[in-house]
A and B are shown apart, each in its own frame.
Chain A
Amino acid sequence: MTGKIKGISGPTVSVEMSGLKLYDRVYVGHAMLTGEVVRLEKDMAVVQIYEDTRGLGIGEPVKGVGMPLTVRLGPGLLSGMFDGLQRPLKRLKEDMGPFITGGKEIYAIDYMKNWRFHPLKKRGEDIKTGEILGYIEEGAFKHFIHSNHSGRIKWITDGDCSLNEAIGEVEDGSMLFGCHEWPVRMPRQYKRKLSPSEPLITGQRCIDFLFPIARGGTVIMPGGFGTGKTILEQSIAKFADVDIVVYVGCGERGNEMAELIDDFSNLTDPWTGRGLMERTILVVNTSNMPVAAREASIYTAVTMAEYYRDMGYHVLLLADSLSRWAEASREISSSLEEMPGEEGYPTYLASRLSGFFERAGIVETLSGKVGSLSMVLSVSPPGGDFTEPVTQACLRTAGAFLMLDTSLAHRRHFPAINWFQSYSLYAKEIIPNFKERVSLQWEELMHRCREILQREEALREVAEIVGIEGLQDADRLLMKASEMIRLEFLCQNAYTGDAFSPPEKTVSKIADIFKFYDNAEEKLKQGVHLDGVLKS
């Protein structure tokens, strides 16, 4: 299938060509730029290009591959770093130097590398599509290989193999491979979805204690600039209690990614003691990289995340930031001259977002294991205004909302999670788990903590009128306790040893504050003067 370029406008190209399907992948021009068919007419197609279109000329050839945009899935993805189209950035760098100068097809998977394959099925056994054939050792992980065919196994490898050759064959002659391609916009299959009930421990006291997240849950974190979205995302990526982390830098800063790589290469996973990079996949499309690839980057990432979920792992997908994704779809939509919705965003924004959110969840996989995919996504509302369409669309589907507050950030209260506005819909399902595993008092302490914060807010209004001196001693003590909760418990410095707080530490810290408060209250009742109480 080949055709010719008829017109070019920004990142969209119209092509004279027939035989294409919607969302097929095409290679455009002499430079072989990757594109996706977004609109079809008779003998004519509109193609969205994932790269810079500068230098592209009229009449240059266009080639169809008869497949949608896919990612390659197989061993070797872990500790990798890819762009929005899953091209490995390190090998791209070896190939073209420190700047990305043009489109080039480099596969995410190294087909030449030798892997040790351990079969779990034997010759003569029956296998169904989706069942586990065996595993490859990928670092410390067992990388399970699922069968892509059904039938009786004719032969199967036991030992070293490379990914460009078959690792087995079924009796009807179909070959079994250790890797495959999967269309990014199509959710991977599973047997059934389960209801989230296990906690995902983040090591952030404010989240674990007040707004707990479930494995398989979705969390959004909107916040204006300077509210610490990125730092919080990175802290969660470092300390979360999951097997695998997929981190998407979607339209964000290049220097931030350099920091992240530097940090992750030097840190260890607090749960297993292994290097942090070993469990991480990075997908990076910084703000100066092509817009269309930014749109694709979150799909590329979620597909890889689902792939590891299907092996029965707990996977966490972090994206920074979803607004950049939405803006990329707005740019694409407007270059396609679609009718705009609110604030120029396409009207399908909400349905695309909810489709994406629904790819999260805790599931029983085709092979009968339980795996989960959780999402923590930051949102960058323009002007810090939460009434904008992206935040509002996310709120309808997300299971937890962590509102990052500019005024807290100005006070250098980090993480700047607003404790009045934020919520987690998973709290009810998860708290019993914390009570069982960590402390029976968990729920009681949490309610008490909330109550004190709430009462402080009311008292603060009074204090602003009458002055703090005008308050009763008991109220001033409460304000002191509340201040301790805010500064010593909710604040958590991401640059010190306190950056990670396991649930045991979290609960003992808050219990200590309440112990102080109870003692002080007792002394007040005995008639000790407040200043004396506070000094002791």
Chain B
Amino acid sequence: MRLSEHIYRTISSIRGPLLLVENVFSARMGEAVRILSPDNREMDGEVLKIEGDTVLIQVYEETRGLDIENSSVVFTDSIKKAPLSLDIIGRIFNGSSIPIDNLPMFIPEKLAPVTGFPMNPSARARPEEFIETGFSSIDGLNTLVKGQKLPIFSCAGLPSKELAAGILKNAALKGEKDKFVVVFVAIGLTYHEYSFYRSILEEMRMKFVAFVNMADEPVMERLLAPRLGLTVAEYLAFERGFDVLVVITDMTNYCDALREISTAREELPGRRGYPGYMYSDLASIYERAGRINDQEYGSSGSVTILPVVTMPEDDITHPIPDLTGYITEGQIVLSRELHQKGISPPVDVLPSLSRLMQRGIGEGHTREDHRKIANLLYKYYAKGRDLRRLEAIVGREGMTEDDRGMLNFADAFEREFVHQGMIRRSINETLDDGINLLKRFSLV
């Protein structure tokens, strides 16, 4: 192990975000490096591959302006770490954890590696504490619990950000105010979207930490921003006892960045050009959600992740939503059809799912009749939707009285239960609405 920093001026090639440095003495895998450009800009990077004394470096920032003769590389002998402290709450950073809110950098209490460590599965606590989102389609039929990772699968043009913002607002409202923090990670966001989220966070006066990578900022930072955010989230949850809700938007930009970097590294492309390790890479982000067994560690915090995924071509079998769905505990799917009908939020409850719902509902969590109501609503709505296909062929007149009733129920379910605009419903209101709807159609 070296104790001092080493400076090299032996760059032999520059290719997009990748540098090759020669004659390096005992580099280490994942070691953080700083690159000094001829015009004295400083950039961060990381050791990616070592072969003898040749080292491949990945630069996190825009490499424009680097040259071979005058640029130098500093090897720091430590791995990439995120600065942590309670003072981080309320701050906004860019994707390299530099403050962008015109306030000075805080003094870190500790540093932690951004990639984190895998949680020992035997130390996990089972997620079963209900989080009220205020949306009937989620609370009633696809319940979110603390420690869950539940993505929103959206299509281009659908109001996913309104849904995410609505969940944020209500979760903050219902959670214990001083024990609740939002970590907001923006990946490749346009200014328009960013200012929307920003105004929500300010309007709510909630505790938050933001890591923002805008659409025109370096692609490498898109890979770093969620990891910084989650390192902060883990610190706040497991060392400081906060319930942390991490909103990451948009994971599609993250995956595209991953593909871009992978291609620059000349790796073998997998499905649709995305690298073959994308599953493991996404898992290293999503799997950081969870709770720790508090009887053993006295930590009552939780990390809940709510990523937004925009499905390219509205295709749920595209590698990004597909791999996400295999890792996360369910999904909330938005539908273009419902959006066009004017249903807001346009949540299609049939392909949506919350895998951790079963233990988060019922007596002691929500209400003892929750499971029954959810099952009935789901069953009859599915039946109604099935019958719509039949209706398209034989027409409404050709159907039985019962079937026509079921069609009316499906319409009413969409218009009255799923549709709610921006009005929040408590879980009791949601369940009462569900019962009333079922009663009106004599289904209970």
Q: Which residues of A contact B (CB under 8 A)?
A: 6-10, 14, 53-59, 81, 89-90, 92-93, 97-101, 224-226, 249, 251, 253-259, 261-262, 284, 286-289, 291, 324, 327-328, 330-331, 334, 340, 343-344, 380, 382-385, 410-412, 463-470, 495
Contact = CB atoms under 8 A, between A and B. Distances in A.
Interface string B176-205: 000000000000000000000000000000
A286 B382 contact: no
B353 A226 contact: yes
A355 B270 CA distance: 26
Given A7-B50, A9-B49, A57-B29, A226 B329 contact: no
13 contacts: A54-B30, A54-B79, A81-B122, A89-B122, A98-B296, A284-B121, A291-B277, A383-B322, A410-B350, A412-B382, A465-B394, A467-B394, A469-B399
A406 to B, nearest CB: 9
A507 B29 CA distance: 61
Nearest to A95: B120
Interface string B284-299: 1001111011001100
A225 B123 contact: no
B421 interface: no
B284 A255 contact: no
Contacts of B277: 291, 331
A464 B389 contact: yes
B268 A90 contact: no
B283 interface: yes
Given A89-B120, A249-B121, A225 B26 contact: no
B356 interface: yes
A254 B121 contact: yes
B121 A258 contact: yes
A97 B297 contact: yes
A262 B49 CA distance: 41
Given A14-B51, A251-B280, A254-B290, 13 more contacts: A55-B29, A225-B326, A226-B351, A255-B289, A262-B126, A287-B327, A291-B280, A380-B326, A383-B317, A464-B390, A464-B393, A465-B394, A466-B394
Interface stretch (B33-41, B100-108, B111-119, B338-346): B111-119
Interface string B74-109: 000001000000000000000000000000000000
A411 to B, nearest CB: 5
A18 B441 CA distance: 79
B382 A255 contact: no
A344 B28 contact: no
B125 interface: yes
- Which 4 pairs from chain A and chain B are nearest by CB? A287-B283, A383-B317, A54-B30, A98-B123
A99 B30 contact: no
Interface residues of B, number: 80
B284 A90 contact: no
A284 B350 CA distance: 31
A253 B327 contact: yes
B51 A99 contact: no
Contacts of A100: 117-120
B378 interface: yes
Nearest to A257: B121
Question: Which of A6, A253, A334, A495: most chain B CB closer than 10 A?
Answer: A253
B118 A255 contact: no
Nearest to B80: A54
Nearest to B353: A226
Contacts of B308: none
Question: Which of B50, B122, B271, B351: most chain A CB closer than 10 A?
Answer: B122
A90 B117 CA distance: 16
Interface in B324-383: 325-327, 329-331, 350-351, 353, 355-356, 358-359, 375, 378-379, 382
Contact of A324 (B127, B279, B389, B398): B279
Contact of B50 (A8, A385, A464): A8
A99 B119 contact: yes
B226 interface: no
A55 B122 contact: no
A98 B120 contact: yes
Contacts of B174: none
Nearest to A334: B268
Contacts of A57: 1, 26-29
A469 to B, nearest CB: 6
A330 B276 contact: yes
B162 to A, nearest CB: 25
Nearest to B46: A54
A287 to B, nearest CB: 3
A253 B318 CA distance: 21
Contacts of A412: 375, 378-379, 382
B29 to A, nearest CB: 5
Contacts of A286: 118, 121, 283, 287
Contacts of B379: 412
Contacts of A324: 279
Given A8-B49, A262-B126, A330-B276, A98 B292 contact: yes
Nearest to B50: A8
Contacts of A97: 120, 123, 297
A463 to B, nearest CB: 8
A410 B382 contact: yes
Question: Which of A101, A287, A343: most chain B CB closer than 10 A?
Answer: A287
Contacts of A465: 393-394
Nearest to B316: A383
A90 B296 CA distance: 12
B398 A469 contact: yes
B52 interface: yes
Nearest to A92: B120
